[in-house]
Amino acid sequence: MSSGVLDPVDLTQRLIRCPSVTPAEGGALDLLQAELETLGFTCHRLVFSEDGTPDVDNLYARLGTAAPNICFAGHTDVVPTGDPAAWSCDPFSGELRDGMLFGRGASDMKGAVAAFVAAVSAYLAAQGAPAGSISLLITGDEEGPSINGTRKVLQWLAEQGERLDACLVGEPTNPGELGDMIKIGRRGSMNGWLTVRGVQGHTAYPHLADNPVHRLVTMLAALTAEPLDQGSEHFQASTLQVTTVDVGNPATNVIPGEARATFNIRFNDLHSGASLESWLRETLDRIGGDYDLQIKLSGESFLCPPGPFSELIASSVETETGRRPELSTTGGTSDARFIKDYCQVAEFGLVGQTMHKIDERTPAADVESLARIYHRILRGYFT
């Protein structure tokens, strides 16, 4: 076991230089495995596949065999860079300029992964082996379909008899400054594909046709006429947003035979995927006609109520940054939606203002502060 303390900024730079665009591993997991094994971790590389989806490489690493087992979850896969010429530097250079660390994954979320590994190295150097276990669950499929990543690793852990007692996800949770926000839950997400079928005909003879566009517009108006709710204690109001309406009709004198729309629902703990689907079908059935509705549930809403774990994170953040973070459930989905079925989970990482953007970047000082926060959390967890 090494007693050397890793530099989180240097490790972030090295991770950024691995071109790990989903589902490519890009050398990022190889790099992490080498560093973790030097620290004494036992590493498992888990490659999962499924028909119609690409193979995905994942890493589970554990130090220690005793309970409790605190896990850090994250991902090394990143979204595509967009036009590299639009960047002020090579997207995979990890360039450090004027105190800012540039590169795809700098904020989402190679910086947090590096900060946690550095925090573990600092913990081992200062406190020695933990009175329990420290583990990392790192996937290469968070930015993709999320089929062959965290969910399957968790299933594998259960099959092996591995137990997680608490999990901290390193997603970029802070909207403005490091210390703003901890996520203790997430809204659910559901996509719907609505197809309305009619009878094609001439616009001059509408009585001989059945215009599906008119019925589609009526259906969408019914779905969006009233708010789904006013929010709940820990969640903002649920929303239904129409994302596209498509007819594909180039003619001005033809009533089309089919019209389609897609929508997304972000919902709080007043609903479930099943209750929303039931409401959708009842609403559309009242309007009637020939239609088809396909539903895909990305994840149910969930909440890990405020308690000792969130308080430990919040106090560690406040001690380091001087800010008392808000406990929030805002934002999109994350892999925490899978982890919450296995243990208590919370999320805290870097500032997310530039994630997925051209010139993604994060202050190097924030990466260093985040490593210190994670170190404080580890000390507090095992005290």
Catalytic residues: 77, 142
Neighbours of 358 (CB within 10 A): 15
Three-class SS state of 245:
strand
* Residue 30 CB burial class (10 angstroms; 0-12, 13-18, ≥19): middle
Helix, strand, coil percentages in the chain from 3-state DSSP, rounded to 5: 30, 30, 40
How would DSSP label each residue in 249-315?
---SSEE-SEEEEEEEEEE-TT--HHHHHHHHHHHHHHH-SSEEEEEEEEE--EE--SSHHHHHHHH
Rounded to whole angstroms, the Cα distance separating 379 from 383 reads: 6
Tokens of 200: 């094609």
Give the CB-side neighbour count of residue 183, counting CA atoms within 13 A: 31
- Cis (ω within 30 of 0) for the bond into 68? yes
Tokens of 138: 């790192």
